[in-house]
Amino acid sequence: MDTVVQMVAAAVDVTSFITASDASHQAFKTATLLKTLSVNSLIRGELGVGKKSLAKYILPDAAVIDASDFDELLIALESLNEIIITNLENSPNITRLIETIKENQIRVIATSKSTFSNTKIDDIFSLKFDIPPLSEREEDVEFLIEKFIKEASLLFGSDGEFSFKNFKPDLSNNASSLRRQVMISYLLQDIKDLELMDIMQNFLSNRLGSNSDYRNFLYLYEAPLIKAGLTKFKSQLQLSDKLGLNRNTLRKKIADNKDYL
């Protein structure tokens, strides 16, 4: 156990950027080098890969401003010596932004989507590097899950073990979607009946209003019941027996809920 704790500690720096995989380790090495250089850099990657964490590691005392907040950004560039600009692709006027950075000789670390491309930025960012998505950094996922479990334990005031049964990491938005998934899974694993009903009531309260709502929302009950039953009992025959349904009725319900199973 001590070895695992030490490995987790070694894989997480003060920015919470995980460096267990070769790709993230190389990105962190580049960021460490940039701490010692007075050059502007652009960090590219998908949402949730750790771009802002690395930018704050490079310039820990710099203001962080989204490129879409253009007026605020221009004011900041007139008064600051260094700045972090996030989501550079959202800037409404890249040309003016670059000109202002040059005129005021500001140290800039910026972030953008991996798909962002603009020839005008080549003059201002002498170093550009990419952070791969978590789907290409499998070693980092395990450490992130452990980190988010600890966060969930502190947030919900529980020392319960996290259940990995049927847990498939959601990496659609990298660490952002994974963190949300772990938080929800951790909360729901010990949920009480009344708490679950409260969640359902809140979900439905703003959605009810048509004459066919009972039929429209029946999938919220049937789909998870069927999915859980098929996972547990492995066959439609056993599930139909446990649910007290004949096989034809169960088949129809499976067909009706096929989009959710």
pLDDT in tens, 182-201: 999 998 888 889 988 998 99
pLDDT given for residue 8 in this prediction:
35
The contacts of residue 201 (CB under 8 Å, 6+ apart) are none
Is 148 a member of any domain? Answer: no
Looking at the structure of the chain, the number of domains it has is 2
pLDDT given for residue 117 in this prediction:
87
| Domain, as residue range, for 223 | 206-261
Is 169 a member of any domain? Answer: no
User: Dihedral of CA 244/248/253/255: which sign?
Assistant: positive
pLDDT given for residue 14 in this prediction:
36
Domain boundary among 88, 115, 133: 133
Q: Which among 209, 161, 150 is positioned nearest to 183, based on CA atoms?
A: 150
Domain boundary among 73, 102, 133: 133
- Tens of pLDDT along 227-258? 999 989 989 999 999 999 999 999 999 999 99
Is 102 a member of any domain? Answer: yes
Give me the residues paired with residue 63 across strands.
Answer: 83
Please indicate, yes or no, whether residues 120 and 210 belong to a single structural domain of this protein.
Answer: no
pLDDT given for residue 42 in this prediction:
97
- Tens of pLDDT along 113-162? 999 988 888 889 999 999 999 999 999 999 999 999 999 998 888 777 88
The answer to whether the beta carbons of residues 61 and 160 sit under 8 Å apart is no
Is 36 a member of any domain? Answer: yes
Residue 257 CA to residue 172 CA, distance in Å, equals 23
- Tens of pLDDT along 50-71? 999 999 999 999 999 999 999 9
Please indicate, yes or no, whether residues 7 and 93 belong to a single structural domain of this protein.
Answer: yes
Q: What mean pLDDT comes out for the span 215-238?
A: 92
Phi, psi of 201 (to 5 degrees): -65, -45
Phi, psi of 247 (to 5 degrees): -65, -35
Q: What pTM does this model have?
A: 0.76
Give me the residues paired with residue 12 across strands.
Answer: 18
pLDDT given for residue 157 in this prediction:
82
Please indicate, yes or no, whether residues 11 and 128 belong to a single structural domain of this protein.
Answer: yes
The upper half-sphere exposure of residue 257, i.e. CA atoms within 13 Å in the direction of its Cβ, equals 21
Is 182 a member of any domain? Answer: no
Is 103 a member of any domain? Answer: yes
- Tens of pLDDT along 7-18? 333 333 334 788
Domain boundary among 133, 162, 187: 133
Task: List the CATH number of the domain containing 33.
Answer: 3.40.50.300
pLDDT given for residue 79 in this prediction:
93
Is 247 a member of any domain? Answer: yes
Please indicate, yes or no, whether residues 107 and 10 belong to a single structural domain of this protein.
Answer: yes
Is 110 a member of any domain? Answer: yes
Helices (H), 107-235: 138-156, 175-188, 193-205, 213-216, 219-233
Residue 3, pLDDT above cutoff 70 = no
Reduced to 3 states (helix: H, G, I; strand: E, B; else coil), residue 163 is coil
Confidence category of residue 105, pLDDT binned at 50, 70, 90 = very high
The contacts of residue 152 (CB under 8 Å, 6+ apart) are 158, 162, 182, 183, 186, 187
